[in-house]
A and B are shown apart, each in its own frame.
Chain A
């Protein structure tokens, strides 16, 4: 217990020293607050159309200007943060849960089980993850949940590989043998002894995974898969703004900035977590 505590203390002291990581953590926290309190923060409803102010450049009334329907871009960006965070976290949870479980089973049982699972993962890895997500999203049809599923399934192999690798190093250690000797079931050993010990790389991958899930989501929405109007989504907003790039360039600036800042903060946080969780990996 005390060893675990000192391990944790070491993690915190290393994490606190990393200004970039702290900055990333605060920005993500801020974004979560914005997403939760979107109705209070946004000055207008996200779908309120007012053609008298259509395509007005940024002003005091409309901080980021208005779109072709006279909707307030700032309000839409605020609301869209909900979608992005939701998709990011749910997609990563899907990938982490299924992938982690498959990886743990593959690593724990070895032999044929391992071979079957990991060769299927190779197949999924043989198609670049966004392309895989495109295939799944196109087949399932539009919709928020389908988008999450598509982005999530595409990340399964990554987690499976990470967890399997950790399980392989743990598999033959004495404490696992001890747990088997006292008659613990395989499931209990995986859940209680193996998974907690391979969380560090999974947490890092998950943080960076949320970042790439958000990028992926924006990309899929940009090419017309996923979120349907009038629900605001950063990628879809950019896709709409594209037609007006010559005359109303501000429409293309702000949604992209929102994506970039979110992903940047998650990358800061992920890098910081990696350095703090495993000082050996420090680059």
Chain B
């Protein structure tokens, strides 16, 4: 599915990723943890192709393709989804219109006809219920005036509509209360399948109580300092990151 080899990347001239390697197989859920500034979010943006994030060395293969050679939207259409930590607002563009355009872009990529408005409306309403978001949000501007939790659920809703092959969730759990966290977990668990992989970027072990990862990685200094199974997350919770950083140093 995804094969990252010795990835180096910089933002505004500053090196953030320093030789990160990671392999994600179909159906796997990987959790990426690590202290602030370790490069967790940068990894997600580099994979998604955010402008201004420069890859200086290394390779990334996604579904057999050279991911780094593709434009941002081409990566998305291949099935790479990034749930944003801070989703931006797009005033005036309705959520419904935005999501339909996105779904149609994916369908076009697969050689399918765009969905007709009625079918899409039906699908969107069902999905909004699944993420516990009032269907009224479909008519509002994209993220316009949404609370933090509503924005996160809106991201989840997009993920469910777009049915990606690989979903990278950038601290989707931060700022969520326990109910919202469960909604997110339920959504992710429902989407887990042998063809779909997840990379969960998170600060806290809490999320992993609800979404059980196959692998846990700890980032430090822009590379993976340690990998393990879910017990690694518990160990981190108990000892903190300092323990690990000392060990790496």
Chains A and B form a bound pair? no
Binding site for B on A (CB under 8 A): none
